Amino acid sequence: MTEGSGQPIVVARFPAATTAVHLHVGSSDPPGALSLAPSDASNAVSGTSDEASLLVAAFNGGFKANAAAGGVEIDGRVVSTLLNGAASAVIDSDGTVHLGIWGHSFPAPGEQVIAVRQNLQLLVEGGAPTAAAANEPIWGAVLGPNPIVARSALGTDAAGDVYFAGSMGTLPIDLANALVSAGATTGMQLDINPFWVTLGIASTPGGTLVGQVPGATHDPSIYLQGWERDFFTVLARPRPGCQLVFPTAAGVAAADPPSIRCGPVHKGLVVP
């Protein structure tokens, strides 16, 4: 689809019922995170892992840590300080995603938060673009005087489905409108500028990731080879009778990396 800037915006929807989301750190950003994050959240998707066999998509994260636009938590470990009032993508222990404003009755009490990626403020709230969405200067430094640059955004809807929106030339308000048109009720901007916006989708779980944003600088294989910035992966949920087991907070026994477990569930544990 296209919006006011006249550039194509790609919007992908990942249903909560059939997909789960995981967060990875980069080799250089957030700084030092690679030494703090467990191996499942490293800067590459291991080709021999269950995550690789279930991988259906991967896309870029948010601003660099030095932009002071928000923090990052990976597998229960804070690798960059979380900020109250920042737009936040919260990933729960089952791989579902919620978006909201950190510290404003969010996340919900008792929510099993595993990972958090913050960036700026909300772009979409209550099913409509925020008042700030039309204020280009607050959405990050661009390359040159033209605010129409590569941008990306993350959204969710009432069903918990996850949306990615991205373009090689657009405005924040265009991303907000695109997310709303696609059905998202909440949204936040991710990264901007041509070098960083990348979305890859595989036709089948574990298949080759194919770039989806026309004109993108990088092939999505960067997420398999090892990338310098944080990124999200989208995994297909396994067949009935099986479930994905994600790592939990430090000090809590859990599968590492994310893996498939099949069998009856007993007291919250999957019995082989």
DSSP class per residue in 27-71:
SSSSTTHHHHS-GGGSSS--TTSHHHHHEEEEEE----GGG-S--
Sign of CA dihedral 207, 208, 211, 217: positive
pLDDT at 62: 98
pTM, to two decimals: 0.91
pLDDT at 259: 67
**Beta bridge pairs of residue 235:** 20, 55
pLDDT at 7: 79
pLDDT at 144: 83
pLDDT at 272: 29
Q: What are phi and psi of 176, to 5 degrees?
A: -60, -45
For residue 118, give the amino acid letter: Q
Joined tokens for residue 218: 């990088």
Sign of CA dihedral 103, 105, 107, 109: positive
**Beta bridge pairs of residue 64:** none
Smallest CA-to-CA distance from 93 within 266, 258, 228 is with 258
pLDDT at 3: 54
Distance CA 229, CA 145 (A): 25
Distance CA 19, CA 51 (A): 12
Q: Give the number of other CB atoms < 10 A from CB of residue 18.
A: 11
Sign of CA dihedral 103, 105, 109, 113: negative
- Positions of the chain with pLDDT lower than 70, given as ranges: 1-6, 241, 243, 246-259, 261-272
